[in-house]
Amino acid sequence: MAYQLKINGQQLQADVDADTPLLWVLRDTLDMKGTKFGCGMSLCGACTVHLNGNPIRSCVTPVAAVGDGAVTTVEGIGDDELGQRIQRTWKSLDVPQCGYCQAGQMMSALALLHQHPKPTDEQIDIGMGMNLCRCSTYLRIRQAIHQVAGELAPAKESEDAAHS
Per-residue pLDDT, 19:
98
Contact 7, 73 (CB under 8 A): yes
The average confidence (pLDDT) of the chain is: 93
Query: Between 164 and 96, where is the model more confident?
Result: 96
Question: Is pLDDT of 161 > 80?
Answer: no
Percent of the chain with pLDDT over 90: 90
Contact between residue 148 and residue 85 where contact means Cβ atoms under 8 Å apart: yes
**DSSP sequence for 60-108:** S-BGGGTTTPEEE-GGGGGGSHHHHHHHHHHHHTT--SS-TTHHHHHHH
Backbone angles phi, psi at 134, to 5 degrees: -65, -25
Beta-sheet pairing, 10-15 with 48-51: unpaired
**Which pLDDT does position 157 carry in this prediction?**
45
Q: Is the pLDDT of residue 38 over 90?
A: yes
118-132 pLDDT per residue, tens: 999 999 999 999 999
pTM: 0.89
